[in-house]
């Protein structure tokens, strides 16, 4: 499927957030080729490569120029912060402390991303999640942040299956998806669809609690051994 910039919030997560969401460290990823799917304006790819890791980011947003992405990121951050102000009780503030903490974190993430996006464009691949432009088993570890299950209303059953099939195709060892609930805070119906699908019975699925919870109750990740 083709996801346009106006369908999802172009909100960046930091390297530190990724570590907590996916339970990864520099040491655990050293010597591995890592794919960051639906990376958007997060700084994981930029910081990770700067400290010696091998990370490739893919997102349909990368079809656009840096200034277009920056404008969208700025607008989306303002929108997200305004919504947070009206729904503070739905969120856990241990990590960010307050709304200003969210603003600082998100701003830092997309500014770091933008600099690297222009300096190291080969690390950022434009593409659709359901048709990844990579070779079979090209990556050791694949991370999927805030897309498949969070925005589950954007996908049909066939599109979810096609996307997961592609993740398996390009991954050698492990796929980790976070989070597992949708924007309404409900368990995404696509989690069981994938886990129980007979096509994927040979793979091992494990739901784990992440050391990260912003939206209350939305702290589970799905770890898949390919």
List pLDDT tens digits, range 180-194: 998 888 889 899 999
Q: In percent, how much of the chain has pLDDT > 90?
A: 75
CB 163 within 8 A of CB 155: yes
Is 67 buried (19+), middle (13-18) or exposed (0-12) by CB count in 10 A? exposed
* pLDDT higher than 70, residue 5: no
Q: What number is the average pLDDT over the span 68-92? A: 91
Mean pLDDT of 55-62: 95
Residue 152: its pLDDT value, please? 82
Quickly name the fold that domain 15-225 has: Rossmann fold (3.40.50)
Q: How confident is the model at residue 148 (pLDDT cuts 50, 70, 90)?
A: confident
**Tokens 């994938």, residue?**
194
Domain borders along the chain are 15-225
175 in Cβ contact with 22 (< 8 Å): no
Could you count the other beta carbons within 10 Å of the beta carbon of residue 18? 25
Paired with 206 in beta bridges are 223
What's the rounded Cα separation, in Å, for the pair 161 and 10? 24
Total number of residues shown for the chain: 226
pTM of the model: 0.92
Residue 45 has pLDDT above 60, yes or no: yes
- At residue 4 the predicted structure's pLDDT band, cuts being 50, 70 and 90, is low
Query: Which H or E run includes 109?
Result: helix 99-119
Query: Has residue 2 got a pLDDT over 80?
Result: no
Q: What's the pLDDT score for residue 6?
A: 63
| Mean confidence (pLDDT) of the chain | 92
Contact 69, 41 (CB under 8 A): yes
């Amino acid at each position: 499927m083709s996801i346009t910039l106006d369908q999802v919030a172009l909100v960046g997560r930091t390297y530190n957030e990724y570590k907590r969401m996916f339970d990864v460290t520099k040491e655990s990823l050293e010597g591995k080729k890592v794919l960051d799917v639906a990376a958007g304006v997060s700084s994981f790819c930029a910081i990770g490569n700067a400290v010696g890791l091998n990370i490739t980011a893919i997102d349909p947003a990368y079809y656009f120029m840096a200034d277009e992405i920056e404008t969208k990121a700025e607008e989306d951050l303002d929108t997200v912060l305004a919504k947070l102000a009206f729904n503070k009780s739905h969120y856990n503030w241990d990590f960010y402390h307050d709304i200003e903490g969210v603003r600082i974190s998100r701003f830092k993430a997309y500014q770091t991303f933008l600099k690297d996006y222009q300096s190291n464009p080969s690390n950022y691949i434009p593409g659709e999640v359901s048709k990844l432009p990579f070779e079979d088993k090209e990556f050791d570890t694949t991370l999927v942040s805030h897309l498949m299950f969070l925005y589950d209303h954007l996908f049909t059953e066939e599109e979810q299956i096609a996307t997961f099939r592609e993740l398996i195709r390009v991954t050698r060892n492990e796929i980790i998806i976070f989070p597992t609930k949708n924007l309404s805070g409900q368990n995404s119906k696509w989690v069981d669809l994938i886990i129980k699908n007979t096509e994927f019975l040979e793979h091992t699925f494990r739901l784990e609690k992440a050391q990260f919870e912003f939206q209350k109750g939305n702290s589970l990740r799905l770890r898949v051994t390919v």
